[in-house]
Amino acid sequence: MKAKFFSKLGNISLRTGVVFVLVISLMAAFLGSVPVSAHVPEGAGKTAEFVLEPIRIYSQGGDLLEYSIEDLGEMKGGVCMCLSGGFRAIQAAISALYGEDELPVQGELTVLYHHPGSGHKLVFETVLTAECVVYEKAGNPQRMTMEHWAYTFTRTDTGEVFETQLKGGVIPDGFFDLRYKVNGYTNGWHDEKPTEEEYNGFSAAYTDAMNNMLTFPLWELYEGIEEPEEETPAGVIVFGFALLLSIVIGFIYSSKGKRS
């Protein structure tokens, strides 16, 4: 009688343990696979919250340097759309030409670009050094188009070239026309004062473009960057193993019960 009682008690403890393992595994799987969504701005003019890894590059003397977008923004007086585009372009070039296991050395990564903004110039010359940066005028800088958001990066130690351009959809439709109307009037390019609607439209489009540049992954920003394959979350693997283990244990004890 006692033997049967302790046998049942052991089975209950075993089942409780299995259930406990399954619950913990399920929680781990759930937490490990919950996506983190970017903060959505409440209104036009408010920049989204973002976290960007700093650009890491070796100096010619072998020192590891780090440039965060915040540090570069302080040098310019604020993080703007132009500076953001240049920063993410360097990130894209390093990803394409060096991968995850290698970092560039200053003097060995050059860029040819067409954006007339001071933000691009500051980022490129600070991170890559001025000797490795070439600005080439394209079209009409006052009437910007997507051709001004195109880049050619060259890894001089290997000769590899990465040509890329900002993808369509990153900058909202109508942005460039609104930019010319608003900035053109402010800078004296023309005398036609923008309407309040045009001012507001440009502000909203600028904010959307900024948020996209700060929050989009590189493969959604630039041509030539492949989206990495998703890895199975560790929690899902643990849960699957625990489930398989519980099935095997249940089968073993079920077989023992039938034989007894």
Q: What is the pLDDT of residue 229?
A: 76
Write the DSSP string, 74-102: HHHTS--HHHHHHHHHHHHHHHHHH-SS-
> For the purposes of burial, counting CB atoms within 10 Å of the CB of 15, is it exposed (0-12), middle (13-18) or buried (19 or more)?
middle
Q: What is the pLDDT of residue 32?
A: 37
Hey, what amino acid is at 100? E
Percent helix, strand, coil in the chain, to 5, is 55, 10, 35
Contact 67, 54 (CB under 8 A): yes
pLDDT (tens place) for every residue of the chain, 260 residues total: 544 444 444 444 445 444 344 333 433 333 333 332 232 222 345 667 888 999 999 999 999 999 999 999 999 999 999 999 999 999 999 999 999 899 999 999 999 999 999 999 999 999 999 999 999 999 999 999 999 999 999 999 999 999 999 999 999 999 999 999 999 999 999 999 999 999 999 999 999 999 999 999 999 999 999 988 765 455 655 555 566 566 656 655 566 655 55
Q: What is the pLDDT of residue 245?
A: 65
- 107-to-126, 127, 205 alpha-carbon distances in Å: 12, 10, 36
Contact 56, 100 (CB under 8 A): no
Instruction: Please report how many Cα atoms fall inside a 13 Å half-sphere around the Cα of residue 252, on the Cβ side.
Output: 9
Phi, psi angle pair for 150, to nearest 5°: -115, 145
Q: What is the pLDDT of residue 251?
A: 55
Q: What is the pLDDT of residue 255?
A: 60
Q: What is the pLDDT of residue 134?
A: 98
Q: What is the pLDDT of residue 23?
A: 37
